Amino acid sequence: LIGTKNPGKITGAKIAFEQFFDNVEVMGINASSGVSDQPINAETYNGAKNRVFNTKKFAEENGIDADFYVGIESGIVNFFDNWYITNFAVICDKNGYYSSGTSASFPVPQKHVNSIQEKTLGHVMDSLFNESELRLSTGGIGLLTHEKITRIDLNTQAFTMALTQFVNGDVWHD
């Protein structure tokens, strides 16, 4: 059960889970992130975690059983005095064990940092590239990499990284 209706996020989760599990079904619901429309720094992780919490709450209230509850959030984060766009995925299994992972990150030129923080990456990318609703397709990263990497790829990466603690037994699990 994933805390979003965004097709790119749902597809990314499905691809990641299908790498390790058979008969994967991913159901998306609207779940609040509880953070800004454009998450900044820790809001990115917190938004994904909040989506998982709200997804689990929805499942309990509606009698839905799931093996995993997942959330993902894309945000602008500062690492070592540089700004990047990255995705944080959080996964909780039916036993309450949590793990998280990130996607590859791409740099944000300083001249666009304030606009992204104020308006959202999607809005800025749509404006820069004269596009509409990139967040629902390949994303800005699709344009920036000339379709070598898409938003779905980044979502898949983040979920795959979070799954490492679920698919390796006690070797890579707290």
Residue 117 has pLDDT above 80, yes or no: yes
Give the number of other Cβ atoms within 10 Å of residue 46's Cβ: 18
State residue 134's pLDDT score.
Answer: 62
Residue 131 has pLDDT above 80, yes or no: no
Nearest 5°: phi and psi at 34?
70, 15
State residue 142's pLDDT score.
Answer: 86
State residue 135's pLDDT score.
Answer: 59
Percent of the chain with pLDDT over 90: 84
More confident residue, 160 or 130: 160
Query: What would the pLDDT profile of 79-91 be if each residue is shown by its tens digit?
Result: 999 999 999 999 9
| SS3 at position 81 | coil
Q: How confident is the model at residue 130 (pLDDT cuts 50, 70, 90)?
A: confident
State residue 126's pLDDT score.
Answer: 83
Query: What would the pLDDT profile of 22-56 be if each residue is shown by its tens digit?
Result: 999 999 999 999 999 999 999 999 999 999 999 99
State residue 6's pLDDT score.
Answer: 92
| SS3 at position 21 | coil
Q: How confident is the model at residue 114 (pLDDT cuts 50, 70, 90)?
A: very high
Query: What would the pLDDT profile of 132-152 be if each residue is shown by its tens digit?
Result: 766 556 778 888 999 899 999
Residue range 102-124: mean pLDDT, rounded = 95
- Residues 122-141: b if buried by 16+ CB within 10 A, e if exposed: bbbbbeeeebeebbeebbbb
The mean pLDDT value of the chain amounts to: 94
Question: What is the token pair recorded at 79?
Answer: 């690492």
State residue 136's pLDDT score.
Answer: 58
